[in-house]
Amino acid sequence: MIEQKTANFIYRFQSVTLLRLQNRMNPSRFISLIITISILFSGCNIIYNKPVAPGHFEQKSKSSVPISNMDSQELRTTPESVALNPSKKKEIKLDAPKKPDSDDAVLNLVQPINQKENFHISISKRNFEKNESRNVVVTENYKTIPMTLNKYVQSEIDRLTKGPDRDFFIESYRRSGRFRPYILEKMKKAGLPENLSWLPLIESGYKTHVFSKAHALGLWQFVPSTGSKFGLKMNTFIDERLDPDKSTMAAIEYLKELHRIFGDWTTVLAAYNCGQGKVLRIIHSQNINYLQNFWDLYERMPSETSKFVPKFLATIQIVNNMKKYGFQNIKPYHPYKHESVKITKQVHLEGIAKCIDKPLIELIMLNPELKNKILPPGTYLLKIPIGTKNILLTSIDNIPVASPHQHSFAYHRVQKGQTLSTIAKHYGTTIKKIQLYNRLKGTGLKVGQVLKLPGKSTTPTLIH
């Protein structure tokens, strides 16, 4: 009875202590604690399996050395033969008398306990390794995305090469030429896998002004909170999520942070799509709170994410084998060539376009972050076509000062029988704009619901 209580205490002490201390201690101290506990409890196993005679116990005590002086090979020795001096490799045999029959019950109890202890130590070791991986060292594994070709990836390959997404892939691949050279250069400099430079193809199709239902914007589809976290400015005049260069640098930092958390690039891609919080909750819902790769979680992922990762892997397969899929004649567009100039005057891009005799659309494409096509107050680094810098600087004083248009809004309370269509017609707007202003996913309305609408008057009104 005493032995059973002691064994239960050992198991509870190991499991509870390890799990509680894991997140509180320095990783190196934590692993040292694990080794210490393992050695101490290996001594308990000697008592259970082969009790040591008093004389032998005294001999062991006199010859023992600090644990820190013992090498890893000695820590793996069996209870019957323990090397106590690593320099001399001298072994002391712990001869035990024959166990009485009553010890069988204790022995049978200790074996499953040891298995449970080993299980908890394995988890602790795996989590320690995971924590250690957060100190990112650029290795070949870190720079490589595991390329899996299973039925899910093959299905996305078929959709992109001969299915409904074929035209999307072709146009996105062509647009990639405008931005990917810069992205690839920065990926290499950061030590990230080069294939990540294709991520905007499935995120935005390499379009700078793509706006999603989740309010994600730009080439890398940043939502406002994540964009702000990684240094992208958003105000009345600019939204740096729209700037390919600035958003690329933010995306690189975000991807590096996700890799420090998950340590697996396919899982990183999943977290990039649906959010790291969602993926962490899925991981914690497992029986074991770690994972080997994305496919361990595939069936639990949101449907959009479970397609997102295979679609990315399918994209890599295609761009690396363009001839195989009949795309060998598709050529990417050339990057935009430009030079930069500092402007301290708040002017409209249209005035600049007339000054340098270039199409307005060219300036818009070079400076997509300008929300109202107006430069912000203060000094702004403007991108302009090559060879136009001197013309602009000598004529900037002739360009009139501009200010952003002040939007006016109306507020409408929905009445019985009204629909989005009738309300849009009354205010001279569109259903899509009403949905955008009010974050409506569908067309359903409730009586008494107040809608924010683009109004014609300068004073907001409330229609009853």
Catalytic positions: 203
Place of tokens 């795309």: 327
Over the chain, what HEC string results? Answer: CHHHHHHHHHHHHHHHHHHHHCCCCCHHHHHHHHHHHHHHHHHHHHHHHCCCCHHHHHHHHHHCCCHHHCCHHHHCCCCCEEEEECCCCEEEECCCCCCCCCHHHHHHHHHHHHHHHHHHHHHHHHHHHHHHCCCCCCCCCCCCCCCCCCHHHHHHHHHHHHCCCHHHHHHHHHHHHHHHHHHHHHHHHHCCCHHHHHHHHHHCCCCCCCECCCCCECCCCECHHHHHHCCCCECCCEEHHHCHHHHHHHHHHHHHHHHHHHCCHHHHHHHHHHCHHHHHHHHHCCCCCCCCCHHHCHHHCCHHHHHHHHHHHHHHHHHCCCCCCCCCCCCCCCCCCEEEEEECCCEEHHHHHHHHCCCHHHHHHHCCCECCCECCCCCEEEEEECCCHHHHHHHHHHCCECCCCCCCEEEEECCCCCCHHHHHHHHCCCHHHHHHHHCCCCCCCCCCCEEEEECCCCCCEEEC
- Tell me the C-alpha to C-alpha distance, in Å, between residue 92 and each of 54, 106, 198, 211: 14, 25, 63, 73
The amino acid sitting at 262 is F
